[in-house]
Amino acid sequence: MDELRLDKWLWAARFYKTRRQATQACQAGKVKLNGQSAKPGKSIKIGDELQITRKMYKQQIRITGLNQRRTAPRIAAALYDDLTSPEVIEQAQLQRTLESAFYRDRRKTGRPTKRDRRLLQRLKGRD
């Protein structure tokens, strides 16, 4: 097995829960193969680099293995090398923590106010 469909690999490597989600991410332009937007049926091979746009950051991946089946997380993690800088990951974790704390406090008081919405947008960087 020298090549594999992109959406199938994303599913097998556990980046998305279903192949449909992987396909939709590719179609939405959230997955780039070697710097270019990739369709779900694009063939990938070992050594290719992917850029996956996540909610909080862009994850850089180098493919080190191909697998058609979805396996245990430890085995799936061996299919790629994560090239994302630690600073980016740390920043995303911090932002995730802040958001969860914000929502945890707000759930008790009901619906967010206009001020809360503005604070949340500022936090996400969408001024």
Of 124, 91, 83, 13, whose CA–CA distance to 21 is shortest?
A: 13
- For residues 44 and 9, membership in a common domain is answered with yes
- For residues 69 and 110, membership in a common domain is answered with no
- For residues 73 and 95, membership in a common domain is answered with no
- For residues 95 and 38, membership in a common domain is answered with no
Question: How many domains is the chain built from?
Answer: 2
- For residues 20 and 72, membership in a common domain is answered with yes
Long-range contact pairs involving 41-50 (C-beta distance under 8 Å, separation at least 24): 41/5, 41/6, 41/7, 42/5, 42/6, 43/3, 43/4, 43/5, 43/6, 44/3, 44/4, 44/5, 44/6, 44/9, 45/2, 45/3, 45/4, 49/83, 50/80
- For residues 94 and 77, membership in a common domain is answered with no
pTM, to two decimals? 0.72
pLDDT (tens, 9 = 90+) of the chain, 127 residues, equals 688 999 999 999 999 999 999 999 999 999 999 999 889 999 999 999 999 998 878 899 999 999 889 999 999 999 999 898 888 888 888 888 877 776 666 556 678 788 888 888 888 877 6
Domain that holds residue 40: 4-84
